[in-house]
Homo-oligomer: A and B are copies of this chain.
Amino acid sequence: MLLHGLSLLAGAPGQPGGKTFHATNPSTNTQIEPAFHEASAAEVAATLTASAVAFTAYRQRSGAERAQFLEAIALEIEALGEPLIQRAHAESGLPQARLIGERGRTCGQLRLFASVVREGSWVDARIDPALPNRQPLPRADLRRMLVALGPVVVFGSSNFPLAFSVAGGDTASALAAGCTVVVKAHRAHPGTAELVATAINRAIVTCGLPPATFSLIHGGGATIGIAMVKHPATAAVGFTGSSAAGRALFDAATSRPHPIPVFAEMSSLNPLFILPGALAERGAAIAQGLLTSFTMGVGQFCTKPGLVFVTRGPDADAFQHTLAGLLPSAACGTMLTSGIREAFLEHRATITATPGVQILAAGSAAASATRTEAQPSVATTTAKNFLAHPVLATEAFGPFTLIVVADTADQLAACATALEGQLTATVHGNTADLATAQPLLATLERIAGRVLINGFPTGVEVCPAMNHGGPYPATTDTRFTSVGTAAIFRFARPVCYQSYPDALLPDALKNANPLGLLRLVDGQPTQNSL
């Protein structure tokens, strides 16, 4: 499959001629052809202007038409076949089986959003019919629904080159809502990005949509990203990545003359609290589950458990002993990029060099820099020390976790209260533990977007009830999820139509309810026509 190494701007290739860059295979530390050409500032501006024009047409497409488009994208991605998996494997170092699974997740996600917009009730239609004889004043006919926000700029993540990238959750939910999308390709997987962008473009052609419904921009980091966020046509931003980059985009968006929302999913420690009964009954099993969870994907999941709280005692000792015994056989893994590896090594070194922190155990195999490898490892410290050193509550993105030993249940609760916003928090407890765990669970519900009992946070189901979000600094907007069907709400706004003749109303609000939506009529949910 021939890659041209150019941006895809409103259906046409970008101009070569600017700076170029190559992808690197992290498994071998070698450069992969071809060269990719960065888009110019003028191309970025023209693309967003074109996206705004396309939006005026695309937003008017019915839910059924948008559903067909999303399904066509899924088919086109599947039609890319083996070369997509090969290229993603080369660019990310992720195992092919994982990438095949991720492709399934990506296409499943597109089809799930297709089903949401085909069914259509997500628009939250509300109708309060006119009350012409009401005293002292009549009521006008008022009808309200959600409509698309505008062109959305998406910054894909490094760690999910398919499911959180060019045709990932942000793009799928924005297109579903009726927004046009401009993706800034991640520099770690530009070839994967190009392949997926061509698949989307083919679906645009098949469905007869405006070419600027989707564009892909290659570029050099902050400058071009900030320009995309600052462009007047941009209506919202989706981002998955580091805290520093996410905050920079947020600051750029909120300091615009016309501020826009930014949905940045940034960092999370995903603390686990193992209560005494569970530790006594199944400490060894939890140790095994923890190892699997924090080393999965070489620890490069936003939901990796990076902090584990236990209470001092023989069971905590046994738990650490078991974990220490498991670590040596844990294999090294290739990280996504050498930059991520270096940041991980540096961050882990900062944590393990903090006074009162001891390394508990590590994998026995040495990590190869050539293969961009990281070695799984675990450190341990006391709760008192944890509370004294805020750096211990910052994320080391990679296969590392920190066990924090509290002297008392109160100290464990104090650790929970001291935590910043998280994507997830987990409690392990037996029946007796959980009978008194309500205060801890209430604390965790305030700091995390998802709270688990007796599980592990890695593995984020794509479904209506999922919430992948959380208080800052986990995300910049705790009111929304970036995974699951509710992610569509990020890219919509309500409009109220007052005293419209029926024929001029959107179908979702017409008297006959031609779309068969569940609507709130006079405050009561119903699928009936008026």
Question: Which of A42-50, A83-91, A155-163, A518-526 has 4 or more CB atoms under 8 Å from chain B?
Answer: A518-526
Least CB separation from A491: chain B residue: B479
Does any Cβ of B come within 8 Å of A465's Cβ? yes
A144-B465, A479-B493, A486-B494 given; A452·B499 CB < 8 A: yes
Question: Which of A69-77, A253-261, A404-412 has 4 or more CB atoms under 8 Å from chain B?
Answer: A253-261
CB-defined contacts of A251 to chain B, threshold 8 Å = 254-255
Which residues of A52-101 are within 8 A (CB) of B? 56, 60, 101
Q: A143 to B495, Cβ gap below 8 A?
A: no
Which residues of A226-274 are within 8 A (CB) of B? 250-251, 254-255, 258-259, 261
Q: A523 to B485, Cβ gap below 8 A?
A: yes
Q: B494 to A455, Cβ gap below 8 A?
A: no
Does any Cβ of B come within 8 Å of A466's Cβ? yes
Choice from B128, B137, B477 contacting A463 with Cβ under 8 Å: B128
* Copies of this chain assembled into the complex: 2
Does any Cβ of B come within 8 Å of A461's Cβ? yes
Choice from B250, B434, B473 contacting A254 with Cβ under 8 Å: B250
Q: A465 to B142, Cβ gap below 8 A?
A: yes
Least CB separation from A473: chain B residue: B258
Docked pose: A124 CA to B499 CA in angstroms: 28
CB-defined contacts of A481 to chain B, threshold 8 Å = 494
A449-B495, A453-B504 given; A56·B442 CB < 8 A: yes
Choice from B467, B473, B477, B500 contacting A496 with Cβ under 8 Å: B467
CB-defined contacts of A450 to chain B, threshold 8 Å = 495-498
Docked pose: A121 CA to B520 CA in angstroms: 11
Contact pattern, A 429-443, Cβ under 8 Å of B = 1, otherwise 0: 000001001100110
Which residues of A401-433 are within 8 A (CB) of B? 420-421
CB-defined contacts of A441 to chain B, threshold 8 Å = 504
Interface residues of A (CB under 8 A from B): 56, 60, 101, 121, 124, 126-128, 136-137, 139-140, 142-144, 147, 149-150, 250-251, 254-255, 258-259, 261, 420-421, 434, 437-438, 441-442, 445-446, 448-455, 459, 461, 463-467, 469, 471-473, 476-481, 485-486, 492-501, 504, 518, 520, 522-523, 525
Given A144-B467, A451-B496, A463-B523, 14 more contacts at CB 8 Å? A56-B442, A60-B442, A126-B465, A142-B463, A142-B465, A250-B259, A254-B255, A258-B471, A261-B479, A434-B501, A438-B504, A451-B500, A465-B496, A467-B496
